[in-house]
């Protein structure tokens, strides 16, 4: 019996030693990186630090391109704007695949505009971008939808009468409501039970997806067979998909082909047009997952950026005061801010750029995947290998930002006070997989930020010098620390 056990252990050890070599992605000449252990990859190297800190430490050792093993799976990490641009722009087609995010694979299963690949992704991306761009042709424009939400928020904040509050709920609500308006054609009251449940499901899922347990899931895919946070993520998203499905059914019943009101209407019309094509990507499954994708792309990151932005206004009241003055000069107090105002407000624009850079909400871009065997910087990356661009390696590069660790709007202003572009500013990534919600997020940040500061001054119970702006690491993302704020009517 003892001999049998020893033989079995020897066999298992041999298999584990062969795993990395037998993995199809191990072929080719990969960039250097920490030596992986059989089966575990670099999991033990990471320890409790989490993926983000682990990746940053490896850059110090191996430079701007290196390989780490998530279990037996090699992934390539890209650092620095030059490396990232060379891959995602200069070799855009090769790096245009969507890599895996294990915790969400079971949810999306390759459907929807964000997690699709190949022709499905190209078709859905073209459709989604065109639909959002064409709002305003017989329909309310994106700008009008955001302005409406901004005024609803102003009403709620006035009702608070300057009471101390955590702004997180309202910022989650307004960003989610903009997506609801785009896809469902309606916004929800902030007290609506269905809306509150939707917010709660997304917030839970974001927390679970960024937990340490979920990072372990990236290393060991077999954990999907064991109860864990992925089960709750799946249940949460199934509930959201059911909610979306009910809305799709209502849209189908009331569909007017001559006057589509939102993204679901437009998608349903395309489904009808292509219903005789068995290969069409316009079907119910892709519709539901595309709507779900837009919520993922357009809510959490923008709301967290707004939260961070107003924390920074409390920390640096002189910055808020300059914005108040610019709003008074350009917009005044008798009309709501409009997107056309942005070009006339270089300081406010620079502040919004710097908030995004400094907050660094998603230091790591969504996973890419090479679509073919790819020669890059002297290495051969086999088809199907996942690639992670580290956006914060660009945003905190002292070659492009004079004081990268300091909040400094001058990073985006020239000597004449005009807005200065910076090629290392890539909060939405770059290339073919640039965030589909970029235009929505930029419009929201400007209109929400200026509308709030047009109507309110902000105050904190804590002296500016005592306000902590250190981000909280949240898996592979960062969020501002919790704080209390007063919105005082101007």
Would you tell me how many other CB atoms lie within 10 Å of the CB of residue 271?
A: 17
Q: Are 185 and 265 in contact (CB under 8 A)?
A: yes
Q: How far apart are CA 89 and CA 131, in angstroms?
A: 25
CA dihedral 138, 120, 65, 104 (to 10 degrees): 90
Binding residues for heme are 435
Binding residues are 435
Would you tell me how many other CB atoms lie within 10 Å of the CB of residue 439?
A: 14
Buried b (16+ CB within 10 A) or exposed e, 140-161: bebbebbbbbbebbbebbeeee
């Amino acid at each position: 019996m003892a001999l049998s056990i020893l033989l079995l252990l020897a066999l298992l050890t041999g298999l584990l030693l062969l795993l990395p070599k037998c993995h199809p992605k191990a072929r080719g000449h990969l960039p250097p990186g920490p030596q992986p252990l059989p089966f575990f990859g670099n999991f033990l190297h990471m320890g409790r630090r989490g993926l983000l800190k682990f990746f940053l430490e490896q850059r110090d050792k191996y430079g701007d391109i290196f390989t780490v093993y998530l279990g037996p799976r090699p992934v390539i990490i890209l650092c620095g704007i030059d490396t990232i641009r060379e891959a995602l722009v200069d070799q855009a087609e090769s790096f245009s695949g969507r890599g895996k995010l294990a915790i969400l694979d079971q949810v999306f299963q390759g459907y929807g505009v964000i997690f699709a690949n190949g022709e499905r992704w190209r078709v859905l991306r073209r459709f989604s971008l065109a639909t959002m761009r064409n709002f305003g042709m017989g329909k309310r424009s994106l700008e009008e939808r955001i302005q409406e939400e901004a005024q609803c928020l102003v009403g709620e904040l006035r009702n608070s009468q300057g009471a101390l509050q955590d702004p997180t709920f309202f910022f989650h609500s307004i960003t989610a409501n903009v997506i609801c308006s785009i896809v469902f054609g309606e916004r929800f009251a902030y007290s609506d039970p269905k809306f509150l449940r939707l917010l709660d499901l997304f917030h839970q899922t974001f927390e679970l997806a960024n937990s340490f347990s979920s990072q372990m899931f990236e290393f060991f895919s077999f954990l999907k067979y064991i109860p864990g946070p992925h089960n709750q993520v799946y249940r949460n998203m199934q509930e959201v998909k059911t909610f979306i499905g009910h809305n799709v059914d209502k849209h189908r019943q009331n569909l007017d082909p001559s006057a589509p009101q939102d993204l679901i209407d437009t998608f349903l019309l395309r489904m009808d047009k292509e219903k005789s094509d068995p290969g069409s990507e316009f079907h119910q499954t892709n519709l539901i997952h595309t709507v779900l994708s837009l919520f993922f792309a357009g809510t959490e990151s923008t709301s967290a950026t707004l939260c961070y932005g107003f924390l920074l206004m409390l920390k640096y009241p002189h910055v808020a005061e300059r914005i108040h003055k610019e709003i008074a000069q350009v917009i005044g107090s008798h009309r709501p801010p409009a997107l056309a105002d942005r070009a006339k407000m270089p300081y406010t624009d620079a502040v919004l750029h710097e908030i995004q850079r400094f907050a660094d909400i998603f230091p790591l871009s969504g996973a890419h995947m090479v679509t073919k065997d790819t020669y890059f910087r002297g290495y051969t990356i086999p088809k199907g290998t996942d690639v992670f661009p580290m956006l914060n390696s660009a945003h905190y590069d002292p070659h492009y930002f004079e004081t990268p660790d300091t909040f400094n709007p001058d990073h985006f202003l020239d000597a004449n006070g005009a807005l200065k572009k910076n090629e290392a500013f890539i909060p939405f990534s770059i290339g073919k997989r640039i965030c589909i919600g970029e235009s929505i997020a930029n419009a929201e940040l400007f209109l929400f930020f200026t509308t709030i500061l047009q109507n309110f001054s902000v105050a904190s119970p804590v002296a500016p010098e005592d306000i902590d702006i250190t981000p909280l690491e949240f898996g592979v993302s960062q969020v501002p620390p919790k704080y209390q704020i007063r919105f005082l009517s101007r």
